[in-house]
Chain A
């Protein structure tokens, strides 16, 4: 029905897709999976006319096509449902459903009675009963997603692309969605389904294509692909390739008996985390493993108070921290080094010294005046200790390399004298040499008695860097690897495990 061959798309500095072949067949649900940066979204955007390919051909219904705009693709029968509901919240359900193709009576005026009737019928068909005259925003996210789905289906779509449609749905709504997907399949519609939830993929998909670094690494029947193999393909690791270094790492000094400096108990955030518990002892590096979307960053943010939790609590050295407040978490001694250091951390226009002193300033001033001498001493100490390579404390951070920027951020948080350091992808986007140095630094900090929680998509780094690894899957802790069990093999097996119990694959 819809296929691409030899597709290549390059963005400035990045080759997002290279030589991708992909075919979605009529009456088939095709899973499209891959980790961050694998090229899924670029592929979808090419299919829906948002991007144009540099090379390669898109074939639709047997003939080559080139969609210049999303509108053209829609008119041709390719509908897309995005992760975020993309409708107009202030408009009524029916108006959203029919925008741009409202039934019109004589004089070209919209026939609202017919529109409401047809909207109601279309939603009933999906098992949703709502007053179609109500504004969309008054409805729950799940119902909104159903309206988006009804819209996608009712345009006589022949290909429906779903980009993580279940990320904000309740289990019950997921079941309705699956029923609709099966209905689409029976009608001979080609469905392209993007999700990180393995259980869902195995339940609903017929075929699978795995992307990694812009290339297709596997394509075939879903049922014929073992879970473990799927995880290995996504992460780009081989099964059974046991890492010798993984075992050598244990410097032994970390006291397994010590009282945990950080304890998170039953953290729950609607749709994101379900009862996540973990603990970090002083001097210990605990890794958070799992696929993209498994709740790793959310766990770190929930601990640091940056993501409001629905229930659960965080204790630092046995003392509960006020939930949902970053300042409270910082005062308690929790420092989070966020994933996106450009957007959430570094102020490139300020100097190394100012960047380091930024967070610690309140503690460094007396009667509202900043104690310059103390700042100089602190900055000097950290620049030496973290081996920050800069012309001097007054160089602008924007001029430094990625690795050194990361160190400046690290210094900023260390200046706060934290007890626990949460590191979200600390080595992403920095070169190999700097990476090794940051890793070494993390180790040293742990040796100095800091508790470290490490998140990394680089399995090797995670395995080598951590004393223990807590494995997350769909917002649930599925396994904790300790001692000799901290291996890539075990990590992948944990990620690939089928859901606990037997029948219910919905959560």
Chain B
């Protein structure tokens, strides 16, 4: 009978299963993982070298400082977005929350630094929390929930500013203003804050139980639930975190500009998502890392800067190049992912 045929030769004494793949396959696997993780970093270095060779004005202290500070705010937003995207979600509300946070901070700065920081954090964190609860408990699609929050938060911001006509200013002499304007060891305070937040974020994501849950929820939600991971709480936490980051970024930005500018932040959610994806985080969730998002932000800013330097090119082309770049990254990711699945 066929059973016999099946078993001949396989009846060897039970041994430990050896590694399944030949070393070659595994090396190419590692290579594609490496490409996904560090492709953006390599590109960033190449872009910076090319830019500094082409333009004398690129590698100057002023220019770098300017780029670093203007990257800082987007980076903080992207930090929260990274957590959300790793869980397999998306947060479209961060642009509006950024603007709302800035306005609230500027308005609150007259009551002191504490209010200027805590008010935007409280409001934006609360909106993030509501997003998270709706997504995790009511099982609504993240896209729709955060789209609603995006519209709602923008409306709220307009209400606070009398339809945008009222611009609140920050007194330059307050401690709050130094958070945006101040310098430490020759580098702007927002940059220091951002670096600190990224270190903290990386530790939380890689080295804490919560971080493991974030990966597990994005990697396979059902399995995570069966393994006893608190799926709903993890989701609520990441959207709250994203709201807090956006609010904080807005507040710091207001401190830097010494006013709550109402027209900022629109489209920022897409910029943040682009940066996160360029940094190697999979939009489908389950895989990604914090430092990549920082690289993604810097890369976007360098591209913008270079195009500004060219001068003759319309600045509108910034977006064309950024868009094309994003497309290339996503295609590369899909390709690498498919390659890996084949192996």
Q: In the complex the two chains form, is A138's CB within 8 Å of B224's CB?
A: no
B223 to A275, Cβ gap below 8 A?
A: no
Do residues B10 and A171 form an inter-chain contact, with CB atoms below 8 A?
Answer: yes
- With the chains together, A257 CA to B222 CA distance in Å? 54
Decide if A127 is an interface residue (CB 8 Å cutoff): yes
* A129 x B14 contact (CB < 8 A): no
Q: Is A171 in contact with B209, judged by CB distance below 8 angstroms?
A: no
CB of B209 within 8 A of CB of A70, answer no
* Docked pose: A109 CA to B228 CA in angstroms: 20
Q: Is A139 an interface residue (CB 8 A)?
A: yes
Contact B215 A87 (CB under 8 A): no
Residues of B within 8 A of A476 (CB): 1-3, 6
From A87, A131, A139, A507, give the contact of B3 (CB < 8 A): A507
B17 within 8 A of A: yes
**Residue in B closest to A174 when the chains form the complex, CB atoms:** B14
Cβ of A100 within 8 Å of any chain B Cβ, yes or no, is yes
When A274-B3, A506-B7 are in contact, do A172 and B17 touch as well, CB less than 8 Å?
Answer: yes
Residues of chain B with a CB closer than 8 A to A501's CB: 1, 3-4
Let me know if A102 and B209 touch, CB within 8 A: yes
| CB proximity of B333 to chain A, nearest CB, Å | 13
Q: Is the CB of A88 within 8 A of B14?
A: no
Residues in A neighbouring B228, C-beta threshold 8 A: 70-71, 74-75, 99-100
Closest to A476 in B: B2
Chain B residues within 8 Å of A172, by CB: 10, 12, 14, 17
Complex contacts, B11 vs chain A, CB 8 Å: 171, 504
Taking a contact as CB atoms closer than 8 A, the residue among B17, B21, B203 that contacts A138 in the complex is B21
> Which one, B6, B18, B26, B223, contacts A274 given CB within 8 A?
B6
Chain A residue with minimal CB distance to B12? A172
Query: Given A90-B287, A100-B229, is A171 in contact with B215 using a C-beta cutoff of 8 Å?
Result: no
Residues 128 to 174 of chain B near chain A (Cβ within 8 Å): none
Give chain B residues whose Cβ lies under 8 Å from the Cβ of A176: 14, 17
CA distance A73 to B190 in the complex (A): 48
| CB proximity of B204 to chain A, nearest CB, Å | 9
Let me know if B83 is at the binding interface, CB within 8 A: no
**With contact pairs A100-B227, A171-B10 given, residues A95 and B215 touching in the complex (Cβ less than 8 Å):** yes
The residue in chain B whose Cβ has the minimal distance to the Cβ of A124 is B16
**Are B219 and A70 within 8 A (Cβ)?**
no
Q: In the bound complex, do residue A275 and residue B17 qualify as a contact, i.e. CB atoms below 8 Å apart?
A: no
Which residues from 186 to 230 on chain B have a C-beta closer than 8 Å to any C-beta of chain A? 203, 207-209, 212-213, 215-216, 219-220, 222-229
Residue from B6, B7, B227, B286 with most neighbouring chain A CB atoms (10 Å): B227
A71–B230 alpha-carbon span in the complex (Å): 9
B29 within 8 A of partner (CB) = yes
A82 at the B interface (CB under 8 A): yes
| In the complex, residue of chain A having the shortest beta-carbon distance to the beta carbon of B204 | A109
Closest Cβ of chain B to A174, distance in Å, is 10
Q: In the complex, A102 Cα to B343 Cα: how many Å?
A: 30
* Neighbouring B residues of A75 by C-beta, 8 Å: 228
Is A500 within 8 A of B208, CB to CB?
no
Contact partners of B223 in chain A: CB under 8 A: 86-88
Q: Which residues of B contact A140 (CB under 8 A)?
A: 17, 20
Given A71-B228, A507-B7, does the pair A143, B17 have CB atoms closer than 8 Å? yes
Q: How far is the CA of A140 from the CA of B17 in the complex (A)?
A: 10
Asked if A425 is at the interface of the complex by the 8 Å CB criterion, the answer is: no
Whether A179 contacts B7 by the Cβ 8 Å rule is: no
**Cα of A371 to Cα of B329 in the assembled complex, Å:** 49
- Closest chain A residue to B343 by CB distance? A138
Is A477 at the interface (CB under 8 A from chain B)? yes
Task: Give the residue name and chain of the B residue nearest to A104 (CB).
Answer: B209
For B26, what are the chain A residues with a Cβ–Cβ distance below 8 Å?
138
By a CB distance below 8 angstroms, the chain A residues around B324 are none
C-alpha spacing A159/B219, complex, angstroms: 27
A 119-137 to B, binary, CB cutoff 8 A, 1 in contact else 0 = 0000000011111000000
Tell me if B314 is interfacial: C-beta within 8 Å of chain A: no
Contact partners of A175 in chain B: CB under 8 A: 14
Q: Is the CB of B212 within 8 A of A102?
A: yes
B5 at the interface (CB under 8 A from A): yes
What residue of chain B has the Cβ atom nearest to residue A80's Cβ? B226
Given contacts A100-B228, A138-B21, A127 and B14 within 8 Å (CB-CB): yes
Q: Is the CB of B203 within 8 A of A86?
A: no
Known pairs A99-B224, A172-B17, A507-B7. 17 more at Cβ < 8 A? Answer: A75-B228, A86-B222, A88-B216, A88-B223, A88-B227, A90-B220, A99-B213, A99-B228, A100-B209, A100-B228, A109-B203, A131-B19, A171-B10, A172-B14, A275-B5, A476-B3, A504-B7
Closest 10 CB pairs of A and B: A88-B219, A500-B1, A90-B286, A109-B207, A86-B223, A275-B2, A90-B219, A71-B228, A88-B220, A140-B20
List 27 contacting pairs A-B, 8 Å CB cutoff, sorted by A: A70-B226, A82-B226, A87-B220, A87-B223, A88-B286, A89-B219, A91-B212, A91-B219, A91-B286, A96-B227, A99-B216, A100-B209, A104-B209, A109-B208, A127-B16, A128-B16, A140-B17, A142-B17, A143-B17, A171-B7, A175-B14, A176-B17, A275-B2, A476-B2, A476-B3, A478-B1, A500-B1
